[in-house]
Amino acid sequence: MSKPLMMRMVDLTPTATGYLTVMIFINAYYIIGQAMNTTVICGVFRSGGDSRLGFICDTIDMWVYFLLCLDEFVKMPFVYKHYKSYKWLQNITRDDV
């Protein structure tokens, strides 16, 4: 239902339309999983007195997310070295210089 509405709001190329279709499809399944897990962990388990499993799941997820974000710090020395070398700086305004 949201796909036709979003497609009418903007004028997209066929390639962009294909990408948007895939992204909507992925997000639809993600939302289903998130809604089910949130309902069971935060609603059912906690109301039944079992907050331990939710805590463990959230802790593991946050640790994995932290590890996934470390790639930025791994890249940082190489990016900064390239930045300081000024090899990235090109003349993009004129051909005769």
Q: What's the pLDDT at 97?
A: 57
Locus of tokens 């639809």:
28
Q: What's the pLDDT at 20?
A: 86
Given a contact cutoff of 8 angstroms between Cβ atoms, the answer to whether 20 and 7 are in contact is: yes
Tokens at 42, concatenated:
């935060």
Q: What's the pLDDT at 3?
A: 65
Q: What's the pLDDT at 17?
A: 85
Measured CA to CA in angstroms, residue 17 lies from 26, 79, 86 at distances of: 14, 33, 38
| Angle separating helix axes 52-69 and 71-85, nearest 10 degrees | 20
pTM for the predicted model, two decimal places? 0.56
Q: What's the pLDDT at 2?
A: 63
- Local mean pLDDT, 10-residue blocks, the chain (97 residues): 71 88 90 93 92 91 90 94 94 77
CA triplet 58, 60, 63: central angle to 5 degrees?
Answer: 105
Locus of tokens 């079992």:
50
Q: What's the pLDDT at 10?
A: 81
Q: What's the pLDDT at 31?
A: 94
**Beta-carbon contacts of residue 97 (< 8 Å; ≥ 6 apart):** 91
